[in-house]
Amino acid sequence: MAKTVEEITEMMYKMISEAQGIKKLKPMDLTKAMKQLLGDEFDKKTCKLAIKNLIDTGRCVYTYFGGSFIELPHKEGAAND
Amino acid sequence: MADAYPKTPMLDELEKGKWPSFVTEIKMAAADNPMGKDLLGLLERSYREKIGHWKHGGIVGVMGYGGGVIGRYNDLPDEYPNISHFHTMRINQPAGWFYTTEALRKICDIWEKHGSGLTNMHGSTGDIILLGTTTDELEPTFDELQKINFDIGGSGSDVRTPSCCCGQARCEWACYDTMGACYDFTMAYQDELHRPAFPYKFKFKFSGCPNDCVASIARSDMSIIGMWRDDIQMDKDAIKEYADGGMDIKADVVDNCPAKCMDWNGKELTIENSYCRHCMHCINVMPKALAPGKDRGATILLGAKAPIVEGALLSSVIIPFIKMEPPYQEIKDLTERIWDVWCEEGKNRERVGEFIQRVGLGNFLEAIEVEPIPEMVAHPRENPYVFYEEYFEEDDGSED
Ligand code: SF4
Ligand code: SF4
């Protein structure tokens, strides 16, 4: 059975948490990873909604370092108080 | 440093001369806002030391949005505390940059309350640029702007704020409703504008005719340029008026036609329209006598960019002519096919134009399901990227 938006959200959140501080992930990296994991069950729209979920709930944030990434909220080295 | 008005001998040089000066503007803002004073001090110091003091801050933004706020911090916050944070906000401009003075005043009032009061009207993508605020002021600014129906624009790897020429609002040469199309695409792609999901930025620019007043051919990934496909409209009496008025039609119009498809026998102007390159030269020189044809639409070009990661590119023709009628579904379907292929195969920070160069136009066209046609070839024998499979099948590579 196809995964729900909530399930994909959790799968993506886990990936982002594990990559935090090691590798910056772009939204497309998350979507491609889901495609690999889910095979025939993959649905692009559900992935888009899952990313929206992660951002709108504040669990993740967009960051910009030459390109746009999705990370856990954190204080950057460059930020002044 | 923050309280004293800084001495700025180097910046003062930029106030001399008869043109407007950004230094004068910052000084005016500094009279009421301590950010302006610190900005003058830091800028003077950068000029003196030849060192930039801005750090790029990557996380700031408003809730739910991934673009439109560009984080900036200075690296000397103890000396310039009022601009320790100095973030930029990009605000989606109205199509064609039409404002009421009331709207402009409201934007300025909001920005004086929440930021430095300094603006840049407009940034190179077209947005209203609000220069300099703190992280804490971003959400309150956004709230107030929304109340007067303004939204944040694009930045990062997303659809950048689409822009257009004033088109049919003011210009008789507009071959389609640029403002209508720009607004339609902006609304249709809100998600792509606010939630960066691409390998890099993607810009739409809409020009009503090949004069291309928004420079879409040089500055947008997808350039939608007004076009006609019938004959240039001619008013013979007006042509005679130009000639009687002393215009040298041969030298100023005919000889400058890049297609050499015009003729002037001293009395009558003729155009071999099938050779016309739609450059607009003759129409620009004789606006009362010539006009674009009546069968109007647009040409769609792809792939322009300024030199950032790699060199500059102009966009090239992908659809020679298409009627521009809402809801522009055919163009949206094409756009989404392009995004699918680019997102799937594009590298980080690779613009569509660079992607096409890397994979080859032939492969790209196949992937987006567009047939190669002669209009895509800039010069015969110069673009050997289109191969006809039937030719190879029939010929089978053997010599006659
Ligand atoms: S691009 Fe053409 S239609 Fe648009 S404002 Fe310029 S001249 Fe007019
Ligand atoms: S539009 Fe340009 S190419 Fe066409 S007839 Fe006029 S000058 Fe020649």
CB contact under 8 A, B59 and A63: yes
Q: Residue B197 carries which DSSP code?
A: -
pTM of the model: 0.92
- For the residues B264-292, what does the mean pLDDT come to? 97
Q: What is the DSSP string of B230-254?
A: SPPEE-HHHHHHHHHTT--HHHHTG
The 10s digit of each residue's pLDDT in B6-33 is 899 999 999 998 999 999 999 999 998 9
Q: Which of A23, A80, A81 to mutate to test the interface with B (most CBs of B within 10 A)?
A: A80
The residue nearest atom 6 of ligand 1, judged by CA position, is B213
A81, closest residue in chain B (CA to CA): B84
Measured CA distances, A50 to A5, A47, B219, B328 (Å) = 5, 5, 33, 29
Beta bridge partners of B38: none
- For the residues B104-124, what does the mean pLDDT come to? 96
Percent of chain B with pLDDT over 70: 93
The 10s digit of each residue's pLDDT in B126-179 is 999 999 999 999 999 999 999 999 999 999 999 999 999 999 999 999 999 999
Out of B58, B156, B199, name the one closest to residue A28 (CB). Answer: B199
Six-digit token pair at A29?
């990296």
Query: Phi/psi of residue B3, each to 5°?
Result: -85, -35
CB contact under 8 A, B348 and A67: yes
CB contact under 8 A, B61 and A79: no
* Residue type at position B121: M
Separation of B279 CA from ligand 2 center, angstroms? 5
Q: Which of B113, B72, B110 is nearest to B91 (CA)?
A: B110
Percent of chain B with pLDDT over 90: 85
**B44 pLDDT exceeds 60?**
yes
Query: What gap in Å lies between CA B295 and CA B177, rounded to an integer?
Result: 14
In the prediction, which pLDDT does B341 show?
Answer: 97
Q: How many other CB atoms are there within 10 angstroms of residue B357's CB atom?
A: 15
User: Domain A5-80 adopts which CATH fold?
Assistant: Arc Repressor Mutant, subunit A (1.10.10)
Looking at B189-328, list the stretches that DSSP marks H as alpha helix, in order from N- to C-terminal side. Answer: 190-194, 216-219, 236-244, 249-252, 281-285
Six-digit token pair at B315?
């966009």
Query: What gap in Å lies between CA A41 and CA A35, rounded to an integer?
Result: 8
In the prediction, which pLDDT does B310 show?
Answer: 76
Coil, strand or helix at B296: strand
Q: Which of A15, A6, A4 is nearest to A53 (CA)?
A: A6
Average pLDDT over chain B reads: 92
Least confident of A59-68, B138-147, B196-205, B388-397: B388-397
How sure is the predictor about B373, in pLDDT bands with cuts at 50, 70 and 90?
confident
Angle, alpha carbons A63-B113-B46 (nearest 5°): 60
Query: What gap in Å lies between CA A8 and CA B49, rounded to an integer?
Result: 51
CB contact under 8 A, A62 and B198: no
Coil, strand or helix at B265: coil
Q: Which of residues 254-283 of B touch A (CB under 8 A)?
A: none
B5 membership: H or E segment, kind and range: none
B263 membership: H or E segment, kind and range: strand B262-264
ipTM: 0.90
In the prediction, which pLDDT does B400 show?
Answer: 41
Which residues contact residue B207 at a Cβ distance below 8 angstroms, ignoring those fewer than 6 apart? B164, B165, B178, B213, B214, B216, B223, B224, B225, B226
How sure is the predictor about B1, in pLDDT bands with cuts at 50, 70 and 90?
very low
Could you tell me how many helices (H) and strands (E) chain A has, helices first?
A: 3, 2
Q: Which of ligand 1's atoms lies nearest the C-alpha of B212?
A: 1
| 8 A C-beta contact, residue B298 and residue B330 | no
Query: What gap in Å lies between CA B214 and CA B211, rounded to an integer?
Result: 9
Least confident of B261-265, B273-277, B322-326, B384-388: B384-388
Q: What is the DSSP string of B49-84?
A: HT---EEEE-S---TT-SSSEEEEEES-TTTSGGGS
Q: Is the CB of B281 under 6 A from ligand 2?
A: yes
| 8 A C-beta contact, residue B118 and residue B108 | no
Strands A68-71, A61-64: pairing is: antiparallel
| 8 A C-beta contact, residue B292 and residue B283 | yes
Q: In chain A, where are the structural domains located?
A: 5-80
Distance of CA B168 to the CA centre of its chain: 18
> Does residue B156 sit at the A interface (CB-CB below 8 Å)?
yes
| 8 A C-beta contact, residue B157 and residue A26 | yes
How sure is the predictor about B378, in pLDDT bands with cuts at 50, 70 and 90?
low
Six-digit token pair at B49?
């030391």
| 8 A C-beta contact, residue B209 and residue B225 | yes
Q: How many other CB atoms are there within 10 angstroms of residue A77's CB atom?
A: 8
Q: Is B64 left (phi over 0), alpha (psi -120 to 50) or beta?
A: left
In the prediction, which pLDDT does B398 show?
Answer: 43
Angle, alpha carbons B262-B264-B268 (nearest 5°): 110
Dihedral sign for Cα A50, A53, A58, A59, please.
Answer: negative
Separation of B232 CA from ligand 2 center, angstroms? 9
